[in-house]
Amino acid sequence: MAPVPAGLVPDSGPGDLADRESEATTTREVIRAQPGKPVAAKGVQIRTVRPRFSNYILVTAAPRDAVVLVSFGRDGRVVNVTLLRSSGVSDVDRPVIDAVYNWTAAGERIRALPERKPPEPPATVDLKFQIILR
C-alpha cells in the first residue's frame, strides 16, 4: 500500500504544535531553519528561538535569508555563531545572531563529542543553517 501524503490524512496538521514526533534528518549541506520551529540534522535535534525585531524593522525591512555557521558544544549550547551571508539589513542580522546563541541541540552527535580540558578548544558539532526570514 502506498503512503498517503500528509496533507490528505484526516485531521493531520503541519505538526507545528508538537515538540518532535519523529526523527527528521537531512543530507543537505545547508539546513533550512524557520526560527521558532524544531530543526533536525543527521544525529542532532535543534530547538530554535525566534529573533525579536523592533516594530520599525518589522514594517520597513525586506531582508533576504541569512546563512550562519553554528558550533554546538558537548552540553548542547551554542559555542559560536558565524554570519556567512547577511540578510542585507544589519538591524535584522544582530537579532538573528542573538537568537541563534539561545538555540540548543541534543542527540547522538552531541553526546559523542569528547570532553576536552583547557587550554584545548572545546569539541563542537558545526552545522550551516539558512535562516528563513520571509
pLDDT in tens, 100-113: 999 999 999 999 99
What global pTM score does this model have? Answer: 0.73
Please list, in sequence order, all residues whose beta carbon lies within 8 angstroms of the beta carbon of residue 133, skipping any fewer than 6 positions away.
63, 64, 65, 66, 87, 92, 96
- 33-60 tens-digit pLDDT: 887 777 888 889 999 999 999 999 989 9
> Which class is domain 21-131?
alpha beta
Residue 119, preceding peptide bond in cis (omega within 30° of 0): yes
Grid coordinates standing for 5? 501524503
> What are the domain boundaries of the chain?
21-131
Cα–Cα distance for residue pair 46/129, rounded to 1 Å: 11
